[in-house]
Each structure stands twice: as C-alpha cells, then as structure tokens.
Structure 1
Amino acid sequence: MHKSMTPATILALTLIAAGCASSAGPGPGSGKQPSAQALLAPTQGSRAGGSVSFVQQDDALLVTARVSGLTQGLHGFHIHEKGDCSAPDASSAGGHYNPAATKHGNPQAGEHHAGDLPMLEADASGNATLSVKLRGLSLDDTGHNIVGRSLVVHAGADDYTSQPAGNSGPRVACGVIVR
C-alpha cells in the first residue's frame, strides 16, 4: 500500500471495487460459487492493508487472506458486527460478530464466536497469508451471513481465552465484506 494513500482514498477505491462487483451473486445454473471480498485499509498510524476473499463451498467458507505492513508475529483476525470502518481506529466496526452469544475462542478448537478467525502470522517483512475453510459462516442465509460486516486485523496475538475479544490489541486494518 502506498504511503501517500489517505484513508479517504482507500475508502473511495473500496467503494469503486464494490460497485464493480455484482451484488446479485451467481445466477441459477451459472456453476459459479458465491463469493465476496474485503479490501483492508490501515487504521490511523498503521501501514497494514491487504485483501481477503471468501468463496462459499457447500457448507464451508474458504477464506484467503493476503496482508502486508504488519509487525512480525501473530495477529488477531476477526469478523466484526458492523460494516463500518469509518472511525480512525476502526472502533465503528463494533465488537466481534457473535450471533449465537457464545464465548470468544479458537475457531479451530471448541466454543467461539462466529467472527473468530485463525490468527495471521506475519513474516520478517510484515507479510501474512492465510487460507482456511470454516464452517458455520456463509455469504447468504444458509448460515451466519458475513456480507456487509467488517473484517479487522489487530496489532497483537489473540490469546483465545480473554473475554470478550481475546486481548489482541488495537485494530491496525479494517475492511467491509462485499459481494
């Protein structure tokens, strides 16, 4: 992400990309699986950014993330309840998406919020990638629909035990999930 890009410029580019995407989804017999994306923009004082794609595959959602501008190490990664990244610190995104009112936890082992995702691990250059299939999330009404919600990357690791959000620190990037 270029240093001279302001949050307003990034938001404008996100809206343009969202406008270019079809909101109707695949048509009957199209053979295409429903998909969505989030373009992550840095919060104030951060350089983190990237993109995340979501593809519905039967009862699972394939999540593929590419994020840069992070500090080396683990970073909390969550779907938040509101599709609003307008606040400088992304506090406008609200808390974790938790429609079943469960405890925060590891999405790959035990009880957790619908919005709890596996952590991102950034290398020495600040780049992180993730590809994971998650059950219970959807891009329509067959599960917990995440379209229109936000995706947030945090400054630190998620301990998967602190309630309600895993103590993963400030929000360093945010993007709205769009079809």
Structure 2
Amino acid sequence: MKTGFVLLMIISAVLMFAATGSAQKNVTDNATDNVTDSAVAILKDAQNNTVGFATFSEDEFGLVRIQVLVRGLEPGMHGIHIHENANCTAPSFTSAGGHYNPLGREHGLANPRGPHAGDLPNLIVGYDGTGYMDVVTNFATLSPGQTTLFPDNGTALVIHADPDNQMTNPAGNSGDRVACGVIEKA
C-alpha cells in the first residue's frame, strides 16, 4: 500500500511539473517566461511516514501557486501554513517555528491586521483520508525579496490537526502539527 501511494505521489508530481514545464515552454516560445521559480516539500507525519507532497511555482506577476496532495490524514478541515524554519523534527514539528511572518502582521486570512505571509486556506481531507489543495497566494514569493520562501533559515509547510479559524493569533486555534515538509528549490 505504501509503495503504491509513493508511486502515485511521484507520478502526480511529475504530471504537475510537466504541466508547469509545458506552460513555461509555450509562454517562453512567445518571448515571455510565465514560471520564474519552483519548489517542493515532501510531507512526513510524526512517525516519519511520507503522507504527501506539495509543489510551489511562481508566475511572472509574483503569484505563487501551491498544490498539495496528502493521504492518511483524519477526514475534515486542517490548518496548513508555511512556517519560519526549514526544520521538521518529529514528532511535534515545533522545530519549524511559528508561521512565516516577515512583515510582522497578525494571523489569519480574515484578520484585518493580517495575514502572515505563510497563512493559507484550510486543507480539506475526504473520508478516505486523502486531500488536495490548489491555491494561489501573493503574500509570499519564491523570488528574492522580503517575503521569499528561501530566507537564510528556510521555511517549511506544516499541516495541523484542526481547522484554522483564520482570525486568532498565533495560529487560528489549528491544533497540533501532524505533518511537516521542508520547502526546497526544485
């Protein structure tokens, strides 16, 4: 079962990157580069099992597309955030630090004083334990700059046990960290 899931993840990653590459090639043929950078994160649970992966790609306008595929999580909504350290030491993943917040804002996509650069919508996991998320953010970038996902200490993608209420500091009451993956340049 694990081998099948890992194979499915690899095939899905190849397809996502192939689609990104195709878009880049088509646009490059027209003398415009649509994708400026890309990154990946392999998500592991507290027992160091691979439970998913994420891809990150940035377009020419600075928008970052994040695609996440997971399995083996509890059904329901889960907070998912980019955290401030490229460190995913199990079992608690507290080594990833707090939410990535280089601009010093408050937590939550619905917070008038927010959001953190690492705040994302909730991840929905189905009854079969699988979930997929495809979002675009302009709060963080893969390019150099103040909100780059590649600062000196790096960043990580963390999935929480509970949904994020998108308002409450510091993490929207999203509960324990159940999966973590270091964000690395592809």
TM range (shorter): 0.7 to 0.9
**Equivalent position SS for 1:92:** helix
Among 91, 94, 106, the alignment partner of 2:94 is 91
Q: 1:32 to 1:74 in 2, by over 3 A?
A: same
Answer yes or no: is 1:174 the counterpart of 2:183: no
User: How far off is 1:87 after superposition?
Assistant: 3.7
1:131 — aligned with what? 134
2:2 — aligned with what? 2
Whole-angstrom CA distance in 2 between matches of 1:134 and 1:112: 11
Answer yes or no: is 1:154 the counterpart of 2:154: no
- Describe the superposition over 1:111-154 as per-residue Cα deviations: whole angstroms up to 9, x where unpaired: 21101011100000011111111113111214511133010000
Count residues in correspondence.
155
- What value does the CA root-mean-square deviation take over the aligned residues? 2.6
Output the amino acid matched with 1:160.
Answer: Q
Q: 1:169 to 1:92 in 2, by over 3 A?
A: same
Structure 2-normalised TM-score? 0.75
Q: 1:137 to 1:79 in 2, by over 3 A?
A: same
Q: Which structure features the higher share of helix residues?
A: 2
Percent of paired sites with the same residue: 39
2:52 — aligned with what? 50
Structure 1-normalised TM-score? 0.77
Answer yes or no: is 1:141 the counterpart of 2:144: yes
The runs of 4+ residues in structure 1 deviating greater than 3 Å are 29-32
Output the amino acid matched with 2:171.
Answer: A
User: How far off is 1:98 after superposition?
Assistant: 0.7
Among 98, 103, 108, the alignment partner of 2:106 is 103
- Describe the superposition over 1:67-88 as per-residue Cα deviations: whole angstroms up to 9, x where unpaired: 1111111000000000000242
Cα pair 1:136 1:143 within 8 Å, conserved? no
Greater mean deviation of Cα atoms: 71-80 or 143-152 = 143-152
**Equivalent position SS for 2:95:** helix
What 5-or-longer segments of structure 2 have no aligned partner? 4-30
